[in-house]
Amino acid sequence: MRVIPSAACLASLLVASGCTEYSVKGFEDGSGGLDSEVLGEDSGSAGGDDSGPDPDVIYEGSVTGRVCDPSGGIWIVGATVTLSADLDGDGVGDVVITTTTDADGYYTLTGVPDGTWTVRIEKGSFWTEFEVTVAGGNTETAEAECLSSEDVKIAVVTGAYDSIEVVLDKLGMEYDLIQGEFGNQAATFLKDSARMAEYDIIFLNCGIAENWIGDKATIAANIAAYTKDGGSVYTSDWAYYFFEAAYPNALDFQGEDKTYGSAYLGMAGKIKATVLDADMQAVIGSSTADLNYDLDAWAVVTTASASATVLIEGDARLWGTTVKKSPLAAEIRPGGRMIYTSFHNEQQSTVHMDLLLMEIILSL
């Protein structure tokens, strides 16, 4: 954790203390604090002038808390927590302290000046704020602070073989459903860039009707523009072609790239996957995850380009061959996020898969 006197407040996140339903491990120890480092400018004082804090002053206060998801059901790992202290009352933070929550949702901000300050907690599109009064020593928040999804607009395009909305329900998030299994609602929605722009996150479930392919060029361009402008799109399994169409050079899917469905070559079975993302590792408490593919013909990624980040990888069995270290979940960040997972919740779900999907959602 670093304590940074700054001319501008950094964004941050919140605390929690009672969520247990989907927790990965015990939360009894209350640890998670980090050593602090105080950085100052060459001149100025902590008093009431405009020159900023005195670099020689070491503040003794600290704030400890915990962060939960919007439902209050799980602890949040990797949330950014920021405290901004306006020492001279000019509306600008003179001391900005930031840290992240640990695997059990705990955080500790050290080197905090005495006074009443704003703490902001953020993870992905979700955030919350509260005020804390510090008068020396450690101030522990009275109760957990949960992220809010109230201001986050979410659209879910339904699919025949996936229902990410079930996971959203567990997390206490509201969303608009768009029919995707049949009819033209999905294609109509994805052809309307203005309507897409009303949402912060769009989920594309596995098993969306293929009739959108006739509008592939328009929809691909809209998805690319939407994500470059800061929106996030999640695609699972058979929805891979939305990713492929919008960003053809990011992930190399098995089969002919220009033929929809040519990547449906994965065989049913269990995979002991390697988790590469640090927050995902913290959520499941391991660098390996048990994934279950209960049906054949799931969409396989062969390799990822330098522009993509592989989150989870494992050996994917195909008919007659195996793709070693296949990217089972990967993303690009053109401005917002575009993410693909070969697995989804439905009947194949394992405990690890549920937790990983929750972490993905909360990071969007």
Percentage of the residues of the chain whose pLDDT score is greater than 90: 75
pLDDT at 26 > cutoff 70: no
pLDDT at 286 > cutoff 50: yes
* Helix ranges (DSSP H) in 31-89: none
In this structure, are residues 359 and 253 in contact, taking their beta carbons and an 8 Å threshold?
no
Phi-psi region of 172 (alpha: psi -120 to 50; beta: other; left: phi over 0): left
Q: Which residues pair with 217 in a beta bridge?
A: none
**Mean pLDDT lowest for which of 130-139, 323-332, 347-356?**
347-356
In this structure, are residues 124 and 363 in contact, taking their beta carbons and an 8 Å threshold?
yes
Closest to 21 (Cα-Cα) out of 70, 67, 75, 65? 75
- Mind listing the pLDDT tens digit for each residue in 124-182? 999 999 999 999 889 999 889 999 999 999 999 999 999 999 999 999 999 999 999 99
Q: Strands 145-146, 61-68: parallel, antiparallel or unpaired by DSSP?
A: parallel
Model confidence at 106, in pLDDT bands (50, 70, 90)? very high
> How much is the pLDDT for 59?
83
In this structure, are residues 364 and 232 in contact, taking their beta carbons and an 8 Å threshold?
yes
Model confidence at 320, in pLDDT bands (50, 70, 90)? confident
Model confidence at 15, in pLDDT bands (50, 70, 90)? very low
> How much is the pLDDT for 53?
60
Angle subtended at Cα 245 by Cα 243 and Cα 250, rounded to the nearest 5 degrees: 55
Domains of the chain: 2-146 (2.60.40.10), 154-363 (3.40.50.880)
